[in-house]
Structure 1
């Protein structure tokens, strides 16, 4: 069948608008990257896998962009009585801003992790779940995200994109500190990255 790929704009909102127009003009099926209940539901199945491997987990730490992964994880976590820590870069904080405003709002997209967490506006479902009692929103700085990605490679030989490193930056740099008896599981979602710039991380994980 083949496919035609078009790179549009500098952030997801611009590409999504171009896709919407194309679908309207051609009758093509439109598939949103995160703002769809089935997208969230599919992401939420990872909670079952985590608990099957580690039943003692009490808290899930997950990065948030537009909120598809987060909404699915939060919904599944609620069924199992788990807490969720929603982590965003300070420069791309659509969920945190929506919580403050009481509704989804447009935010600047200015973060090293913007290529995967660069949603200008969070989904309504994500905001609904973020208001739940078992969810906490935290922010991390770009330098901490960069250092986390490099340390993860230097110490564990795991190469992830900056969006995935965002989640782990929260416990490693203090935005989230587990309470006594709490057992967190960090979701490292995303390896769309070029590992070439990780080659010197062994010598200096902070670089």
Structure 2
């Protein structure tokens, strides 16, 4: 197995330079909102990495661009194009990068994938195939397709080029927020986490890996000492629904400076609603999962006076369930 290194992150940074959007960073205004659901309610210096503004609406564009570019440089792009199994965001990113390079893309998704993601995929000229109820079933169909056609198989998270591309996000954050103490990321299969944690460790920055308590592939792998299958049952499952974390992610999690945190679906929903209430930002439940580690009570994420950056990783979502907060009170319900 390839163990991700900082050299991989640096190579990816050079490869995707000028081909992706630089991350937008926004500081959470200290004291502006006394609501405990607001990440700036304490005395930490909190930054929000608005990576949902990236091409295709998520950080996945970084890994996909790195994957396509690396294979093009190596002369390894087949006539059958690329194929991927994805809960949505990785498929969007793969289709986008392939379209930019004039390469065919065939994307396999679970039948439960949100309609907004399916429609966007087709907008990138990808062939979309819906298979099964969970990611693992779509992945099996994708592998069969690649074997039969010779298409280049990408992966939603478990590939060193994909993870290294995701890690370029931390490189940008580190350059623009001096003295950062910790970065907080949501974890599904672990591509974003592995890349970010590898780069963060090089710079002496802690990484907080956040998962829904009922979709905890990385947390379970840490406990078991090896990747294991978990049951997936969370409102964030459309983007954080991997049944098993990658070995790369587990290796990154076993290094110094990494902390695993679990949050409830109610905490995720409240964090997502709070982003809308305070900043009029609509993100996926998966992106709100990272924020929930700060806004939920009793989470050892950042100490007093520390500087922390929360990655808001995607916004391919239906915002119709975000409701205005009633005047004169706080809406604490999990909307």
Same fold flag (TM > 0.5):
yes
> What is the match of residue 163 of structure 1?
286
Which position in structure 2 is the counterpart of 1:182?
306
1:194 matched residue in structure 2: 318
**Gapped regions of structure 1 (runs ≥ 5):** none
The structural deviation recorded for 1:195 is 1.2
Of 195, 199, 205, 1:82 maps to 205
Q: 1:128 aligns with which of 237, 245, 251?
A: 251
1:14 CA drift (Å): 1.4
Measure how far apart 1:141 and its partner are: 0.3
Which residue of 202, 216, 221 corresponds with 1:98? 221
Secondary structure at the counterpart of residue 143 of structure 1: helix
In the other structure, the counterpart of 2:164 is 41
| Secondary structure, counterpart of 1:120 in structure 2 | coil
Which digits, 9 at most, give the CA deviation of each residue in 1:57-86, with x for residues without a partner? 110000000000000000000110000000
- Aligned residue pair count: 206
Give the drift of 1:56.
2.4
TM-score (norm 1): 0.95
User: Residues of 2 paired with 1:140 and 1:63: CA distance?
Assistant: 10
> How far off its partner does 1:182 sit?
2.0
Give me the TM-score of the superposition, normalised by structure 2.
0.60
| Per-residue Cα deviation, 1:22-79 (whole angstroms, up to 9, x for no partner) | 1111111111110000111111111121122211211000000000000000000011
Shift of 1:153: 0.6
Q: Indicate conservation of the 8 Å contact 2:208/2:301, yes or no.
A: no
Secondary structure, aligned partner of 1:65: coil
Please say if 1:27 is aligned against 2:153.
no
Query: Aligned partners of 2:295 and 2:231: how far apart in 1?
Result: 25
Worse-superposed segment, 80-89 or 180-189: 180-189
Alignment of 1:136-147 (within 5 A): 136-147=259-270
Please give the alpha-carbon distance, in whole angstroms, between the structure 2 residues aligned to 1:79 and 1:117: 26
Q: 1:118 aligned to 2:268? A: no
Check if 1:149 corresponds to 2:258: no
- The secondary structure found in structure 2 opposite 1:6 is strand
